[in-house]
Structure 1
Amino acid sequence: MDIDDLRIVTAVAKHGSMNRAAAQLNMVQSSVTARIRLLEEELGVPLFVRHSRGVRLSDAGERLLSFSDRIHTLFDEAVAAVKEDGVPKGALRIGSTEPTVSLRLPPVLAEYARKYPAVALTITLGNTSELIEQVIDQTLDGAFVAGPVQRPGLIEEPVYREDVVLVSQASTRSIDVLRNSGDVRALVLDQGCSYRDLLTEILETYGIKNQVLPLASFDAIRSCVESGVGVTLLPKELLAGAWKSASVAIHELAGRTGQVETVFIRRAESTHFSALNAFAVLSRASSNFTR
């Protein structure tokens, strides 16, 4: 078995058809079929179950495919490492939560594009849980997430510390009003939102009964806060920017309760790549983090 065999297995699994896989691979169907048959004979197990409409992966095929994706990624990284000459270039995939993109990254991205035009940089938005898993499974090279993370195999570096505030409808003048209003809806992005647990913890600390209401976007959260559906937690600086015109009330939080740490994470084995290192350096230079 070699990397070309894995490439063929991946294509057949994707299309569910030897014929369509052959078209993608610029091969004839008989060659694809023969390679799959030889691989199955070598391994001693069927990789595909044949049916009237094509093929599907067997249990053994599913297990092989899970390794195939990782092997292809590792192969690509090996090629990139061999070509590494200290000059940032090639593809760089960075993830971030939405508040960090809005508040901190625009100048970093602009400076990076100016200094390293040979790097094809892409930014993926997501919640903290999603982004951590994407760095671990090598879909992303690095990501800005809520910290601390403390996951094996990851390097994390604190880069930003945000002062966060409780945000409510404009007519709600104090936290005492919220405390006396019965159940309050805690508006968050989704299950993996880094502010979800912090918001409910803060509300409970102030004696405010609450129930979580996940929403699809910051725009939806803003509309619901303005109309009195519930309250949310946001970086204070975001309210001076993207939410500047919002009709809301801002409630300051005491001490470290009102602070959120953002860390930049990457896999420990990826630290030698120039494009990623250069990005980490620029991020570090923009940091407002002090211990």
Structure 2
Amino acid sequence: MDFAVYQLRSFWEVARTGSLTKSAKNLGYSQSSITAHVRSLESRVGVPLFYRLPHGVRLTAAGETFQSYVGKIFNVMDEMSTALKNNGEATGRVVVGATALLMEYEMEGLVRECRYRYPHVQVSLKVMTSKDVEKAVASGGVDIGLTLACGQGEAPAGVLRQALFPVPFVPVGAPGMQSGPAPRTVERVLVVDPDCASQEVLLRHLASVQESVPSLMETGSTRSALGLAGAGLGVAMVPEAAVDGAAGPAGPVVLEDLPRASVHVQALWSGDGWLSPAVSAFLDLARRARGSHVRPPHGERGAADAADGAADAADAGADEGGQGVSGAAAPVMV
């Protein structure tokens, strides 16, 4: 279907005001021109877009659907205009939903890197559970979702996903547990996000080696989980990078007789439409991330940038050869 921008603007104004006369005055057209614009659109889509009432007009169900897509078209046009004014540099806002675990140990680095590389991109963060992240991506509540996953799993229809980088998890408990009698019985497991894939390995192991099922206690944050584990109130599965910062005489220790886990940070985004420059920029940055456990010190920025430059060159060559985006594995549509 071919639509002229002036026709879409006429439709938008009529939908906003509910009046052909007011719309004509606001846009500087004659009423007959506005009427012609609307009729031309209705002829192209094949259905009425407005109910004609004695005093004005009202959108039909088809008109409401059409209005939502016209809004998206105008948003894309505005973003294109802004990007061109900034010489093609990525600009705009991206809303990222992530689990508490990722907010504590991965998001700070990503946001800082985004600010460094894309100063005109505004990142807004939302803390969610793993299940809520998936729902928010599917509904459009967030532009990008970041969760932890052990495998492909299932995601809502119309959502694209891609594994980014691994995060090693280790089981921790009070110092006295390491030297206690074996096998021990774990009575309580401390969890930050009960839906997080990192918890599955520990819970499956405990179910196979002890008769009693441990209770679960949600801690709200990794810091709380570490403190409670160090105090002997349970066992927690936490990112290995978090244990280094909690080391000390009264801090938790890694329990070597319990299994470790390696899970991947997973990015999710909508596969139903066009991605804005801001969303594309942040997603590309997330694809290149290496994770907090291997992130170079700040003083090594130059080396990291050189490595990224080499990666850019390799990606460009791959794109020319039809090998995909950023040299990463192709996303899976679910």
> Which category of TM-score, normalised to the shorter sequence, fits these structures?
0.5 to 0.7
Give the AA of the match of 1:158: A
- How much does 1:186 deviate? 1.1
Distance 2:142 2:132 in 1: 11
Deviations 1:174-216 (CA, angstroms, capped at 9, x unpaired): 6964x433x5111113543444434311322444742222233
| Residue 80 (1) aligns with residue 84 (2) | no
Structure 1 unmatched ranges of 5 or more: 9-37, 44-63
Matched position secondary structure for 1:157: strand
Equivalent residue, structure 2, for 1:235: 239
| Residue 287 (1) aligns with residue 290 (2) | yes
Distance 2:134 2:67 in 1: 20
Matched position secondary structure for 1:171: helix
Equivalent residue, structure 2, for 1:120: 122
Give the AA of the match of 1:133: K
Aligned residue runs from structure 1 range 34-53, under 5 A = none
| Percent identity (aligned) | 16
CA contact (8 A) 2:175 2:253 kept: yes
Equivalent residue, structure 2, for 1:164: 169
Change (3 A) 1:5 1:261: farther
Equivalent residue, structure 1, for 2:219: 215
CA contact (8 A) 1:73 1:138 kept: no
CA contact (8 A) 2:226 2:251 kept: no
Equivalent residue, structure 1, for 2:206: 203
Distance 1:124 1:164 in 2: 23
Matched position secondary structure for 1:269: coil
- The one of 146, 152, 158 aligned to 1:153: 158
Matched position secondary structure for 1:202: helix
TM-score (norm 1): 0.66
Give the AA of the match of 2:225: I
Deviations 1:134-156 (CA, angstroms, capped at 9, x unpaired): 11111100011022343221111
Matched position secondary structure for 1:166: strand
Deviations 1:95-149 (CA, angstroms, capped at 9, x unpaired): 2223323333333211211232222211112221111111111110001102234
Equivalent residue, structure 2, for 1:275: 278
Matched position secondary structure for 2:93: strand
Distance 1:5 1:175 in 2: 75
Matched position secondary structure for 1:187: strand
Matched position secondary structure for 2:177: coil
- How much does 1:232 deviate? 0.9
Give the AA of the match of 2:288: A
Change (3 A) 1:279 1:270: farther
Change (3 A) 1:5 1:125: farther
CA contact (8 A) 1:271 1:277 kept: no
- How much does 1:91 deviate? 1.6
CA contact (8 A) 1:91 1:121 kept: yes
Q: CA RMSD in A?
A: 3.8
- The one of 91, 94, 97 aligned to 2:93: 91
- How many residue pairs align between the two structures? 235
Equivalent residue, structure 1, for 2:262: 259
Bigger mean CA offset, 133-142 vs 117-126: 117-126
Distance 1:234 1:191 in 2: 12
CA contact (8 A) 1:87 1:275 kept: no
- The one of 223, 229, 236 aligned to 1:225: 229
TM-score (norm 2): 0.58
Give the AA of the match of 2:74: V
Equivalent residue, structure 1, for 2:104: 102
Deviations 1:205-246 (CA, angstroms, capped at 9, x unpaired): 4447422222333343233212212111011112123x3446
Bigger Cα Rg? 2
